Structure 1
């Protein structure tokens, strides 16, 4: 079992004003960061540690802080940030510990819809995000575009296409894909919201009080449909999640086609990170998009 380096643990205890922890348990479930549950006499915390190049946890801190501004805490929460530290070029993000259970997703769906609506009221003038970020281990570049189509193509699709091996897709195919995406999105009026950005079943939960929880975000200002699209990519979201979300934000015409287009971003990213079967899925998505 991986241990927290002594110098880092001392710094955490100093920041909290605590003595030695009562217990430290490594938490498994992701391959990007190391993580632990740290328990003191009167409180438990969740620690994430990043020793990679790139400020992954600083980006996560920014996302969590921004998402918190638009939540209805009766229905949806994100983990509260206790502390962000850097020790010898290692990032440490200390969060509140949240106990979760396998329960219905009614409040999760309702709370996500409320978050999208409330952030839309902020009237953010542009699509994008102000700081450099990550989607998995891949760069999610910063920047702003006033036009949604330009944002999605220039800041999300093109950077992923550029990472693919040169022989994987010919330039004319790439251009056809971008042209088709533009034509499909032209007749769509996006609802600009702050989105979670990486909303799959591994990044959500339900508290013991039945509130929804979202964590490990890769946020940006986007069409709110990108979050709902990703929930359908790997499954495990329940009917009550969608029913309660769409009571807040009704389904718009053409959402099925846009789901494929928005998830193309994540399939490209998985192909770039893992290769293998995801490369075949990229080809399948391309065929579907070009046939729209």
Structure 2
């Protein structure tokens, strides 16, 4: 349950932001991630999904998440929960989203999911990046625009996390030098492609089956990048049917050699996990570096 004081503040704040008097009748805690508490709110205006975290630690996280969901929703090619508002109640930050019921997967679920991701990747911009930094997990994700994917990937993705890992004794000097050397070679390793709108954190924990039997995606780390990043992320922890990849390839074929670049694209989320959790992710990073040295 939500603390009664926070509940009263939420009643007031949500009523003001949504311009309608809202009374929270019941708040049921449901499964969330490592950073956020999540609740199903039963209110006088219907059911909502609420995320909360420490406003002092993550003062702008939900603002960035709302912007990312709006960016994905504007493409109008795949369902995302509609973000309603964000704010603070006491020392708690919150994000209010529409509540979407779960359903059973339609027979063509994976084919439809792949087609939707392919259409999402058709959305483009003149640059790689975004108009502001955001988050992947609890880590800041830099999105300074560049015209070159290789430069973007080196300066906004790999090197900031490599430096963080080195400063926090997660990697040693030889591994840092390997990462620096790899970054110099990125222009020769990636094929040229226009920027694509990416979910940015497309693993099996960030989608569900909606009431219509189709995919719903959430918890994005949005930016315009190389589309192989999203595909590589789906392969990192499993959970995606082979029909997803066959259909994507049929609709929007990847450049030759994409299988050999999977590790290169997975290096970024592996560095994210190394910085957050340590442990065996160090060996995973070293294994990827071995492939390209």
Aligned to 2:92: 90
How far the C-alpha of 1:257 sits from its partner, in A, is 2.0
Aligned twin of 2:252? 249
CA distance in structure 1 between the aligned counterparts of 2:147 and 2:40, rounded to whole angstroms: 42
1:107 pairs, out of 104, 112, 119, with 112
RMSD of the TM alignment (CA)?
Answer: 1.9
2:232 to 229, 238, 254: 229
The 2-side partners of 1:277 and 1:288 are apart by: 18
Is 1:56 matched up with 2:61? yes
1:169 paired to 2:178: no
Q: Confirm or deny: 8 A CA contact 2:135 2:221 kept in the other structure.
A: yes
1:157 is displaced (CA, Å) by 0.7
Equivalent position of 2:73 in the other structure:
68
Please name the residue that 1:273 is paired with: 276
Secondary structure of 2:256 counterpart? coil
Question: Runs of 5+ in structure 2 lacking a partner?
Answer: none
Match of 1:40 in 2: 43
Deviation at 1:231, TM superposition (A): 0.2
Kept in 2: contact 1:161–1:174 (CA 8 A) = yes
In structure 1, list runs of 5 or more residues that go unmatched: none
Matching of residue 12 in structure 1 with residue 17 in structure 2: no
Residue 19 of structure 1, CA deviation: 4.2
Match 2:267 to one of 261, 264, 267: 264
Aligned to 1:140: 141
Q: In terms of mean alpha carbon deviation, does 138-147 or 21-30 score higher? A: 21-30
Tell whether the 8 Å contact from 1:201 to 1:235 is kept in structure 2 after alignment. Answer: yes
Residue 203 of structure 1 corresponds to 206
Matched, 1:152 2:161: no
TM-score, with normalisation over the residues of structure 2?
0.89
C-alpha change, 1:106 and 1:22, in structure 2 (3 Å) is farther
Preserved contact between residue 22 and residue 45 of structure 2 (Cα < 8 Å): no
CA contact (8 A) 1:86 1:92 kept: yes
Distance 1:165 1:269, change over 3 A: same
Aligned positions, number: 281
Confirm or deny that 1:26 pairs with 2:33: no
**Whole-Å Cα distance in 1 between the matches of residues 100 and 114 of structure 2?**
19
Change (3 A) 1:88 1:42: closer
Write the distance in 1 (CA, Å) between the matches of 2:158 and 2:58. 23
Q: Partner of 2:249: helix, strand, or coil? A: helix
